[in-house]
């Protein structure tokens, strides 16, 4: 397969200087592309000076993660895109196993490697860990990371399995499937867009896989800190977008009201905890969802009708399990 490692950059010159050398050194069988999302720092000059073998695609403004990748991948010819955050260190032979999985089974649309923490090398990383799942209310979790609890890597997830979603921090995705599904939803801007894409791919009959035979190290939180109000806004809003678009009708009628109620509970916890900015982020997210309903309804009608539940959708609530039953890890 023709492989393109594609890194979306926005004002990340320092990250490129730190992490791009490992990508170039460990990706001899791939074309490495950096798409600059309207940076105002010296990212482009750095690429031209220090990484002349890396292809640079320049965009005139910041289109966000979702549409930035959509616009970039329209210009990249490959059989397999490797979507890679600019704050990821890769390891020897990291391309081999995921590409072999894609090449051997045309119904696999995406593969995620094992994602460890760059700063705590023996622990999983928050964004993806050992493969993503989703609970009955649309809350994402991973093997190795449930809400705020991150496990150490003791080899407990060293098996290839099917998952519900692959992390956008490092996602191997079949180019034809990506374009068939319409790419990322540009309305998401950033956050949750990879889960939405994987959900749409699964509704089209594709599967998503995880393999531990490829390992990368992710710094995480390099663009927006995990508790940043704008990140909270995007996560709360985009979760509602994703559920409305992809759930079967009956499940939607049951799930969406309960999820919105729990969002309200979270907002009140932020408020009474003295975090007014987080409270406002949740309120703004719900307001944005209501404003977007006509467009979301139109999008839902354009998607394939074969929506269903999948084995990788847990028939439980991780909010209940985590906070009430005190079950904090995947085995529990």
Count of domains in the chain?
2
Q: Would you say residue 117 lies in a domain?
A: yes
Same domain, 261 and 134: no
Same domain, 150 and 297: no
pLDDT in tens, the chain (332 residues): 999 999 999 999 999 999 999 999 999 999 999 999 999 999 999 999 999 999 999 999 999 999 999 999 999 999 999 999 999 999 999 999 999 999 999 999 999 999 999 999 999 999 999 999 999 999 999 999 999 999 999 999 999 999 999 999 999 999 999 999 999 999 999 999 999 999 999 999 999 999 999 999 999 875 555 578 999 999 999 999 999 999 999 999 999 999 999 999 999 999 999 999 999 999 999 999 999 999 999 999 999 887 888 999 999 999 999 999 999 999 99
Q: Would you say residue 322 lies in a domain?
A: no
Same domain, 173 and 82: yes
Q: Would you say residue 196 lies in a domain?
A: yes
Same domain, 177 and 241: no
Domain interval for residue 251 = 229-310
Question: Which H or E run includes 232?
Answer: helix 229-246
Q: Would you say residue 223 lies in a domain?
A: no
Same domain, 65 and 7: yes
Same domain, 211 and 257: no
Name every residue whose Cβ is closer than 8 Å to that of residue 104 and which is 6 or more positions away in sequence. Answer: none
Same domain, 214 and 239: no
244 torsion bin: left (phi>0), alpha (psi -120 to 50), beta (else): alpha
Alpha carbons within 13 A on the beta-carbon side of 34: 30
């Amino acid at each position: 397969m023709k492989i393109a490692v594609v890194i979306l950059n926005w004002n990340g010159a320092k990250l490129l200087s730190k992490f791009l050398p490992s990508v170039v050194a460990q990706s001899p069988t791939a074309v490495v592309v950096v798409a600059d999302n309207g940076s105002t720092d010296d990212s482009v000059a750095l690429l031209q000076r220090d990484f002349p073998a890396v292809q640079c695609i320049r965009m005139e403004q910041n289109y966000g993660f979702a549409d930035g990748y959509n616009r970039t991948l329209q210009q990249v010819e490959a059989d397999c895109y490797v979507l890679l955050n600019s704050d990821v260190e890769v390891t020897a032979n990291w391309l081999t196993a995921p590409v072999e999985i894609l090449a051997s089974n045309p119904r696999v649309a995406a593969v995620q490697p094992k994602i460890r923490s760059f700063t705590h090398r023996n622990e999983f990383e928050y964004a993806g860990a050992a493969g993503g799942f989703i609970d009955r209310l649309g809350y994402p979790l991973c093997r190795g990371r449930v809400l705020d609890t991150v496990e150490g890597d003791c080899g407990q997830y060293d098996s290839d399995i099917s998952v519900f979603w692959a992390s956008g921090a490092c996602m191997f995705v079949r180019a034809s499937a990506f374009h068939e599904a319409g790419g990322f939803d540009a309305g998401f801007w950033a956050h949750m867009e990879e889960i939405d894409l994987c959900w749409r791919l699964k509704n089209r009959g594709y599967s998503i896989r995880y393999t531990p035979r490829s390992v990368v190290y992710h710094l995480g939180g390099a663009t927006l800190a995990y508790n940043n109000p704008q990140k909270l806004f995007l996560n709360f809003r985009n979760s509602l977008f994703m559920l409305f678009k992809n759930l079967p009708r009956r499940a939607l009628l049951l799930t969406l009201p309960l999820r919105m109620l729990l969002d309200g509970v979270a907002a009140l916890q932020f408020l009474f905890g003295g975090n007014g900015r987080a409270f406002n982020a949740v309120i703004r997210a719900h307001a944005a969802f209501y404003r977007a309903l006509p467009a979301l309804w139109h999008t839902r009608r354009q998607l394939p009708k074969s929506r269903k539940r999948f084995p990788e959708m847990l028939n439980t609530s991780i909010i209940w399990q985590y906070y009430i039953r005190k079950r904090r890890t995947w085995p529990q």
